[in-house]
Chain A
């Protein structure tokens, strides 16, 4: 097992190197990063020269790449092009907020999906099963941004008509809140629900399918034949095995959540990774964008690694050697 983990970690290194190279390549072929800076009249030629100097923009591509990788390790990806503010402290702040959002959404979707999936499978073709199926199809078909706007319209109108604040529709905290925790919860609720819906739709189908497979397997029939209580058959025999592929699916989903967070944060005005990315894409500031992609890739690759390791641990049939 240890050898497998070490080998898997070592395998991630070339993946990261290639990813970083692809990111840098994709950004540098997109044109002169200084286009926007040059259009601002109050930026003098000296400033532009110093930016060129600082980012080695006149050097050949491979040297630029090397300098960028070096700056990632030594200076935390350096500074932004326009404002010259250091990138890392900003990303650390927004990453914290985004992780709150993503982890809450993941927990919500996993719990709900597991319950919905198991009940759907155990009571196959029941009214509950059909309702769940309908909603998961709707969940698949609704774009995240549309869902977010619907929730915003709904809760703003609810507030305007009843004057009771259930959930806030923008921002992360309000000034002068009595209880920080409850205030944060009221702010995070709608973005978390928005992000979780797709996960619930996906995972509940997943759990249902893998539950059905297990429920119809020989050892579950044996357990039933032995006279094990239905509850025990479901909870002990079936669920445990059905959840194994589910664990990997959860870990692999984190990449998707970062994408979903971009839309959700933009709409709900949350100072997170997504809004940071969109803001810098709009001003065409490529250095924070590259840093963003790199950090997200590292996180996603890390979750892939964890998924593989957990999978091997949970399913002893998988042997890595």
Chain B
């Protein structure tokens, strides 16, 4: 009897095959690191924090795969002009109501006005990614600064600032965003992104504040203080770099949220306004014809799902790689 699996041949004969957890589970990583240590003896190459993180991330196959898909989508958004066979507003009445076909490069079909939905989706990806990127950037800036000040100074400042965060977190956020976007919005992607960022900095602020409360007591901060470093220098040069992990992870997850929320706003007509194409708006435009031409709803809809799915997987991988303390119990 030959065993095709060499590792299984080491187990006792007749022993039941135990379904082992996948190798990305937490304990295995450490075990592998440890065994590597023993094999190499004392000659262990020093690895920087980032190298370790990269190794942990690349062990996460789903995350790596998602990152590749995501990078392709980002490139599609960036090079929308070169990739889209038509412009997003060009109407060809003769080509109207076409199902998805290779003919004339209408991969996702055309709508009643004869607009090519593949091109519109490609430009929609650009808008969505732009909005999400700006939201991630702005909300990270606000959240990190807010949390840093709150956690660094502590005391009554911290108390006041965190009460305000609590208040924002109690709000029914999607409802408030819809109202604010309807009242303050002017339909440009930048405005939509700014409005979203105004409400999505609170999670990061809480995380950074918690981080800072514990970092404040560390010896290196004490040393920096003793050698006369200013508060600003300690915050920006010593403590924030040590909070990079949660910042990056949170920013990734904000991108996913922002894409979903922007699509919802645009779908309801309070987000990005035409002629600027947005994935949510494309679905809204196609709604009236969804029985006869369901592909017009499916193309932008599935695009949103794929993007968000990939970002969430990448975020998960990053969490495991950069932020071991926040590691969720996961499969």
Contacts and interface: CB of A to CB of B under 8 A. Distances in A.
Is chain B a partner of chain A in the same complex?
yes
Interface residues of A, number: 52
Contact of A149 (B19, B176, B287): B287
B112 interface: no
Given A263-B264, A297-B171, A137 B309 contact: yes
Contacts of B274: none
Contacts of A152: 290
B172 interface: yes
A18 B267 contact: no
A149 B280 CA distance: 12
A278 B291 CA distance: 24
Interface string A144-157: 11100110110011
Contacts of A157: 291
A255 B21 contact: no
Contact of A289 (B174, B179, B263): B179
Interface in A274-294: 277-278, 281-282, 286, 289, 293
B183 A30 contact: yes
Interface string B15-27: 0000101100000
Contacts of B176: 293
Nearest to A29: B184
Interface string B199-234: 000000000000000000000000000000000000
A256 B312 CA distance: 20
Residue of B305, B312, B313, B328 with most chain A CB atoms under a 10 A cut-off? B305
B308 interface: yes
B182 A255 contact: no
A190 interface: no
Contacts of A130: 331
A153 B180 contact: no
B301 A255 contact: no
A143 interface: yes
A130 B22 CA distance: 12
A180 interface: no
A263 B267 contact: yes
Given A140-B308, A277-B178, A293-B179, A256 B170 contact: no
Contacts of B183: 26-27, 30-31, 281, 286, 289
B162 to A, nearest CB: 13
A143 B268 contact: no
Contact of A209 (B167, B297, B329): B329
A52 interface: no
A152 B290 CA distance: 9
A126 to B, nearest CB: 8
Contact of B172 (A31, A153, A209, A258): A258
Interface in B258-300: 260, 263-264, 267-270, 280, 283, 287, 290-291, 294, 297
Contact of A213 (B19, B173, B306, B329): B329
Interface in B169-203: 170-180, 182-184
Interface SS of B by simple majority: helix
Contacts of B301: 143, 146, 149-150
Nearest to A258: B172
B304 interface: yes
Nearest to A266: B268
B179 A149 contact: no
B55 to A, nearest CB: 24
B105 to A, nearest CB: 25
A133 B331 contact: yes
Interface residues on B, range: 35 or more
A15 interface: yes
Interface in B146-178: 167, 170-178
Contacts of A212: 329
Contacts of A300: 170-172
A169 to B, nearest CB: 10
Contacts of A173: none
A152 B22 CA distance: 39
Nearest to B181: A281
Contacts of A87: none
A145 B287 CA distance: 11
Contacts of B177: 259
A301 interface: yes
Nearest to A257: B172
A129 interface: yes
Nearest to B306: A141
Nearest to B262: A143
A262 interface: yes
Interface string A232-270: 000000000000000000000001101110110010000
Contacts of B287: 149
Contacts of A301: 170
B297 A262 contact: no
Interface in A124-176: 124-126, 129-130, 133, 137-138, 140-146, 149-150, 152-153, 156-157
Contact of A137 (B22, B264, B312): B312
Interface string B228-254: 000000000000000000000000000
A315 B177 CA distance: 34
Given A15-B170, A263-B264, A138 B175 contact: no
9 contacts: A125-B19, A140-B256, A143-B260, A145-B268, A255-B171, A255-B173, A258-B175, A262-B174, A277-B178
Interface of A: 15, 18-19, 26-27, 30-31, 124-126, 129-130, 133, 137-138, 140-146, 149-150, 152-153, 156-157, 208-209, 212-213, 255-256, 258-260, 262-263, 266, 277-278, 281-282, 286, 289, 293, 296-297, 300-301, 304
Interface of B: 19, 21-22, 167, 170-180, 182-184, 256, 260, 263-264, 267-270, 280, 283, 287, 290-291, 294, 297, 301, 304-306, 308-309, 312-313, 328-329, 331
The 3 closest A-B pairs by CB, nearest first: A259-B174, A30-B183, A255-B172
